[in-house]
Structure 1
Amino acid sequence: MRIGIVNDLPLAIEALRRVLAQAPQHQVAWTAADGVEAVEMALRDRPDIILMDLVMPRMNGVEATRRIMAEAPCAILVVTSDIESNAAQVFAAMGKGALDAVDTPLLHGAPMAGKHPLLTKIEAVGRLIDAGSSAPAPKGIERGATSQLIAIGASAGGPAALAAILKALPAGFPAGIVIVQHVDARFAEGLARWLDDQCALSVRLAQEGDRVRPGEVLVAGTDDHLVFKSPERLGYSREPSDHTYRPSIDVFFRSAGQFWPGALTGLLLTGMGADGARGLKELRDKGHLTIAQDKASSAVYGMPKAALQLDAAREVLPLEQIARRLTDLPGLRLSTKGLSE
C-alpha cells in the first residue's frame, strides 16, 4: 500500500520510514510536516493510508483529518506519541473519520519499539479497505415482544455520531442500548467515559454476563466479539477468530437477532468497509426495524452504503433525525424535552 506520513518531528518520520521499510508491500508515498501540507499532498496524490500525527503547527491532526475526509477521503490512522494522554484528541480525530490510533514507534530498542503494533494496525486498515463482500442471510426466527433493544454499530466517524445521538436522548429512555464501535480495546474505557459525559444516560463498558437494561448504554470493551449468549445475557467470544473486524458488528447483530426476545432496532452508522451490513440485513429479514445513516451526514460512507447495497436498511436517516426516530418507536414515546429540533 502507498502510505503518506504526517508528522512535524524528523525523528518520528524516520522511525515510521524504518518500520515501513520492513514490510515490502508498503511504500512511503510522501511526507508532510503539518496538517496544511498533509491536505495539500492528499489533494495532489491521494495515498491508500495516511499516518496522521495529532499535535502539529499551523494545522493539527484533527482538523487535517476533517479536511482530508471532506476533500480527498482516504484511510487515516492516527500515529502519535502517548495516545492514552491524548485520548480526547484521538476521539476527536475518529469523529472526523480516522479509523484507529497507535503510538509512534521509537528508534531505539531491538526490535524497534512499537513496530509490531503499527504494522498490525496498518494491515487491519488494509483489510477494511478491501472488505465489502456480501453473503445471503439466513431465514428469520420467531421473536417475542418483551423489552426493547437498540443495537448500534459504528466505525470511522462513530464517536462523534454516537455522542450526537446519545445526547439527544432524554433521561429515562425506556430501551436498552448496546454499541459496537470499532476501536482499540485500549480506548474502549475512555470512549465509554467520554460518551457518559456527553449524555443523560448511563454509559459503561459491557461486562461478561451483563443484562440489557432500559436507560443504560453498554459499549463493547475488548477486541473479542460482544455477543448475546442467551436471551438475557451478553458476553464476549473469540470466535469467529479469523474475522476481519474485532469486535465485529455483523457478529453482534447476528447474535442479537438469534437471541433477543423483544423488539429490536438495528442502527448502522458511519464507517469504512462493510461490517454490519450483512448483520443488519439479517435483522431486517427477521422483521426488525433497521436504520442506516445517510451519506450526507456520514464522516465515512462505507458501512451504510454497503447496507443499502444489500437492501438491509428499511430507513435511511440523517444523523440529526435518528434520536427523534428512536423516541418515536412504539413503546418508546415519551417526553422529548431537550431533543434538538
Structure 2
Amino acid sequence: MKIGIANDMPLAVETLRQAIAKRPGHRVLWVAANGEEAVQFCAAQVPDVVLMDLVMPKLDGVEATRQIMARSPCPILIVTTSVGANAWRVYEAMGAGALDAVDTPTLAGSDARRTMDLLLAKIEQIGRFSGALDAAARTPAVRLPGGPSAPIVAIGASAGGPSALAAVLGGLPANFGAGVVIVQHVDRSFAEGMAAWLDGQTPLAVRIAREGERPAPGCALLAATNDHLRITATGALTYTREPADTPYRPSVDTFFHSLVEHWAGDAIGVLLTGMGRDGAIGLKAMRAKGWHTIAQDEATSAVYGMPKAAAALGAARAILPLSAIAPELASRVTSPLQSAG
C-alpha cells in the first residue's frame, strides 16, 4: 500500500515510518509537514491511505480531511496522540470523511509492539475496505474449532436503553441465529438485575457476560462490570480497565473496536438511544469493515445523542425506528435450522 503521512512532529513521523516498514507491501509515498501540504500532495499523488494528525500548522487535520475529500478523495486514518483526549476533533474529522482513528504508536516501552500492531491492523483494514490490498495478501481470518463462527449482533445503549433493548430483544425469535452482546451504560450493581429483567422480555436467554465466555446463537450477553468488555482473537469475551480515561464505562466504542480488530465472522452493529457520543466511532469502523450497521432514529430515541453522533458520521447504513430494528436483524440473520436445511 502507498501511504501518505501528514504530521509535523519528526518523532511521530519516524515512529510511523518504522511501523510501516514492518510490512513489506507498504511504503511511504510522501510526508506532509502540515495540513496544507497534505491537501496538495494528495492532489498530486493520491495514496491508498493517509495517516492524518489532528493538530498541525496552516490547516489542522479536520480541515485537511475536509478539503482532501472534496478535491481528491482517498481513505484517511486519523493518527493522534490520544484518541480519547481528542474525541471531539476525532468526531469532526470522521464527520469530514475520515474512516477511523488510532493512537500514535510509541517507539519504546512495553506498549510499543501493541501500539504498532494496532496501527498496522487499522491500515490493513482500510486497505481491505478500499480494495488496496490484493486478496492473496490479506491476513487469513481466524476460525474457531468446529467451522465458521456464528455472526454477532453488537448492541450499544445508554440513557433510555433498557426499554429500547427490551423492544429489540423482544422482537427476535427464539431460534435467532446470531449471538447478541449488549454494552449498556449501567453500574455493575444493577447489571445482574437488568439481565434478569431483560430475560423476561424476550424468547432469547439473557444473562451477564462472564470472563472467557463466547457468544452463541439464541443468547444475549450483557456487559456486567465497570470495566470495558472486549472480544479477543480466540472469540472469547474479556474485561479490561483500559482505556482508563474513557468517561463511559463500559464503553460501546471499546467493544465495537475489538470486534473490528479480532472478529473473523460476520457482525451487525446497533446503536440505540443514549446521551453522548459513545459508540459512534466504533460503529463507523464496523461499517468500514463492510458490516451492516443500524442506528435508532430521532423520533423513537429517548435521548438522541449516541445515534445522532453515528448519523452525523455516516456510521449507520440504516437509521430505523425502534420497532423496525428487530425485524431488520431477523431478516439478515439465518437461523441455525434454516442454515442446516
Q: What TM-score does the superposition give when structure 1 sets the normalisation length?
A: 0.57
2:277 is the alignment partner of 1:274: yes
Aligned to 2:198: 195
1:175 Cα shift?
0.7
Counterpart contact for 1:157–1:299, Cα < 8 Å: yes
- CA distance change for structure 1 residues 217 and 330 in 2, over 3 Å: closer, same or farther? closer
Q: Which amino acid aligns with 1:279?
A: G
Aligned to 1:240: 243
| C-alpha separation in 1, matches of 2:239 and 2:207 | 15
* Greater mean alpha carbon deviation, residues 141-150 or residues 253-262: 141-150
Counterpart contact for 1:132–1:274, Cα < 8 Å: no
1:165-244 → structure 2 map (5 Å cutoff): 165-244=168-247
3-state DSSP of counterpart to 2:183: strand
Q: Which amino acid aligns with 1:287?
A: G
Q: Which amino acid aligns with 2:282?
A: G
2:181 is the alignment partner of 1:152: no
* Partner deviation per Cα, 1:165-213 (whole Å, 9 max, x = no partner): 1111111211100000001111011110000011111000001000111
1:30-179 → structure 2 map (5 Å cutoff): 134=91, 136=98, 137=100, 138-139=122-123, 140=125, 146-179=149-182
| C-alpha separation in 1, matches of 2:264 and 2:160 | 31
Q: After TM superposition, where is structure 1 displaced by more than 6 Å over at least 4 residues in a row?
A: none
| C-alpha separation in 2, matches of 1:270 and 1:179 | 13
Q: Which amino acid aligns with 2:235?
A: E
From 325, 328, 332, the counterpart of 1:329: 332
| C-alpha separation in 1, matches of 2:201 and 2:337 | 21
* Partner deviation per Cα, 1:25-78 (whole Å, 9 max, x = no partner): xxxxxxxxxxxxxxxxxxxxxxxxxxxxxxxxxxxxxxxxxxxxxxxxxxxxxx
| C-alpha separation in 1, matches of 2:270 and 2:302 | 16
1:333 Cα shift?
9.2
Aligned to 1:314: 317
Runs (5+) with no aligned partner, structure 2:
1-86, 101-121, 129-138, 143-147
1:277-316 → structure 2 map (5 Å cutoff): 277-316=280-319
| C-alpha separation in 2, matches of 1:131 and 1:167 | 35
Equivalent residues, number: 207
Aligned to 1:259: 262
Runs (5+) with no aligned partner, structure 1:
1-129, 336-341
Counterpart contact for 1:231–1:261, Cα < 8 Å: no
Q: Which amino acid aligns with 1:305?
A: K
| C-alpha separation in 1, matches of 2:264 and 2:171 | 27
| C-alpha separation in 2, matches of 1:133 and 1:284 | 17
3-state DSSP of counterpart to 2:332: coil
Task: Provide the alpha-carbon RMSD of the alignment.
Answer: 2.2
1:131 Cα shift?
6.8
* Partner deviation per Cα, 1:208-255 (whole Å, 9 max, x = no partner): 000111100000000000001223200100001111111000000000
- CA distance change for structure 1 residues 132 and 214 in 2, over 3 Å: closer, same or farther? farther
